[in-house]
Amino acid sequence: MANSFSARSRAIEPFHVMALLSRANQLQAEGHDVIHLEIGEPDFTTAEPVIKAGQAALAEGATRYTTARGLPALREAIAGFYAERYGVRIDPERIMITPGGSGALLLTSALLVDPGKHWLLADPGYPCNRHFLRLVEGAAQLVPVGPETRYQLTPELVERHWTDDSVGALVASPANPTGTVLHRDELAALSQTLNRRGGHLVVDEIYHGLTYGLDAASVLEVDDTAFVLNSFSKYFGMTGWRLGWLVAPDEAVPELEKLAQNLYISASTVAQHAALACFTPEANEIFESRRAEFARRRDFLLPALRALGFNIEVEPEGAFYLYADMSAFGGDAYAFCQHFIETEHVAFTPGLDFGHYRAGKHVRFAYTQSLPRLEEAVTRIARGLKTWQS
């Protein structure tokens, strides 16, 4: 029967980490103490003001569809957020509320990519980006990037890899899996390059807010025509609520609305009402305290892993990941991850999930566990390295 499934379905790769996660969960069910550093989900529950707002919405019967664009009040709140945080004025009519950041990526891919056309993407990068392009019969032109460009696309790389089939570039700031940030001048330079080429600039800003020692610039500060993907999952801690948003140029909104009406009708009504509480002072205080906690975790785990022999050349400025070169220990990254699940019950992600460029020599650690758990993980990894190399 599998041979009768679509070519696009067969071409989209699974998350390789899911097999490791399944094994980790099996070990946990058997009574082992597993430390999960593999999944990009904060360990914090949704903030109490947001939960209360969701409960109140349910009690008031807010369970019917919204429009495809989303609640006007939420779009206005997001516009106010851009004005306050970035000094950018965005018409709320340009904002689409979506089912997670994935919904925003789906809409943008469907809008901008014809069959056979492609976007330039950094390799390594978040795998769903290229898979969504395949879903709409487009393609990802993966551009190998390394520490020399802080794992980000540059104008020079765009020029070098641009072809007649290129229609744009998708960049992430902060990026998954590397945590690197594109600064304001770098976003402006990318924008200028793509404008000269007649291409679209799409920026994944899903990890905005989770930056350390700086506040990330939004591409909308330098390019009002860019497409911006964002989410309530990471900084706002609403992963399971499945809510995100897209900011698009005025002329794109009617087409995006039409696509949304057909693809998913609307985002979760209850989640939208709950998300209104994200923009209250009470909730913001919670989010900022969590950002400080992530900074403490990064500041512990980064030097600890380096001391064990992992090569992390670029210090991440955002998100909650460390992308580490494990070449010094020899072997393949996937087998390396399997070894630590089986022997030390520490789970982290092989680079294979993030692309092709040197993927077999890299692993990603998510510092989404408490400091005591991270300390225990480092102790176990140190012990596991001895048996790996023996």
Q: What is 9-45+283-384's CATH superfamily?
A: Aspartate Aminotransferase, domain 1 (3.90.1150.10)
For residues 110 and 102, is the Cβ–Cβ distance under 8 A? no
**How many C-beta atoms lie closer than 10 Å to residue 267's C-beta?**
29
Comparing C-alpha atoms, which of 113, 107, 165, 103 is closest to residue 134? 113
CA angle, residues 283, 287, 292, in degrees to nearest 5 = 145
pTM: 0.95
For residues 187 and 219, is the Cβ–Cβ distance under 8 A? yes
Q: What are the backbone angles phi and psi of residue 227, rounded to the nearest 5°?
A: -100, 130
H or E segment and range at residue 140: strand 139-144
Both tokens of 135, joined, read 């879903």
User: Could you tell me the maximum CA-CA distance found in the chain, to the nearest angstrom?
Assistant: 63
DSSP-derived 3-state class of residue 276: helix
Q: Are strands 244-247 and 227-231 parallel, antiparallel or unpaired?
A: antiparallel
For residues 381 and 388, is the Cβ–Cβ distance under 8 A? no
Paired residues of 325 in beta bridges: 311, 362
Contacts of 9 (CB under 8 A, 6+ apart): none
Helices (H), the chain: 7-11, 17-29, 48-59, 72-86, 100-112, 127-135, 155-161, 184-197, 253-263, 269-275, 281-308, 333-344, 371-388
For residue 296, the one-letter residue type is R
What CA–CA distance (Å, rounded) separates 360 from 345?
21
For residue 73, the one-letter residue type is A
Domain boundaries, the chain: 9-45+283-384, 48-280
Q: Which residues of the chain have pLDDT under 50?
A: none
Helices (H), 118-216: 127-135, 155-161, 184-197
Under CATH, what is the fold of the domain 48-280?
A: Aspartate Aminotransferase; domain 2 (3.40.640)
What CA–CA distance (Å, rounded) separates 260 from 277?
24
Q: What are the backbone angles phi and psi of residue 301, rounded to the nearest 5°?
A: -70, -35
